Amino acid sequence: MKKSIFLLLLPLLAAAWLFACRPEPLPPNPGPQPIDYTVLPPATQEGKNTFGCLVNGEVWIPRVPIFSWTIYDKALSFDESKGLGYGYGTFRLVDAPIADWMSLSFGFTFFEPSVFHTTPDDSDSSLFSVLFRRGNSGYYEPDYSVPLASNTWKVTKVDTVKNFISGTFEFTLIHKTNPNDTLKFTEGRFDLPYYPQ
């Protein structure tokens, strides 16, 4: 009798044991979170593919409409060999009602934490240049009348294995044809993968 009761209880005991040993279910993966374009991204140094700044006090984060998949919002490339090279970046905000576009180019650099200043002298090895287009209002370029320290691109980390570059920037740009029209870029930060060529 005891044996038959044990045989009857055996499947129940096995089921209870299996249920008790079952791992906790994983929470659902929420996937990529939407970007809040009203807040600057954190100033990270991990290659998180972020770029942002304030333009005359307003948040500016590059983005493109979802249907314009052929246009990258951020692209940074370097002609790099053994830690030396030139660089070029483009950043686009083409969502309506504003269609902004920014390009940056870098002079010769040793791919290490450094500070670069804009300068009218193209022979300067620390050169970086900026060109910005605001909607249909034309182009802006660095205002060389401000101190060089105010037009700065600061590299805080370069990883030539994972291929990313991080840092901060600030500069003042002046309209090419209207010297009274200026744009002040502050609290700039970038943490971007780059593509060696």
- Domain hosting residue 65, numbered range: 47-196
Residue 54: inside a domain: yes
Residue 120: inside a domain: yes
* DSSP assigned state of 150: G
Residue 34: inside a domain: no
**Tokens standing for 71?**
């246009």
How many structural domains are present in the chain? 1
What is the tens place of the pLDDT at every residue in 68-109?
545 566 666 666 555 555 566 666 665 545 577 888 777 656
pLDDT score for 96: 45
Residue 1: inside a domain: no
Residue 38: inside a domain: no
pLDDT score for 51: 86
**Whether 107 contacts 125, CB under 8 Å:** yes
Three-state SS letters, 116-144:
EECCCCCCCCCEEEEEEEECCCCEEEECC
Q: Tell me the CA distances in angstroms from 49 to 13, 29, 163, 195, one per residue in order.
A: 53, 21, 11, 12
What is the tens place of the pLDDT at every residue in 132-188?
888 778 889 999 888 888 888 888 888 878 888 888 999 999 999 999 999 999 999
- Burial class of 1 by CB neighbour count within 10 A (0 to 12, 13 to 18, 19+): exposed
- Burial class of 33 by CB neighbour count within 10 A (0 to 12, 13 to 18, 19+): exposed
Residue 87: inside a domain: yes
- Burial class of 88 by CB neighbour count within 10 A (0 to 12, 13 to 18, 19+): middle
> What's CA 186's distance to the chain center, in Å?
15
Residue 53 binned pLDDT confidence (cut-offs 50, 70, 90)? very high
Residue 18: inside a domain: no
Residue 68: inside a domain: yes
Does the global pTM surpass 0.95? no
Q: What is the dihedral of CA 105, 108, 113, 116, to 10 degrees?
A: -60
**Tokens standing for 104?**
């940056």
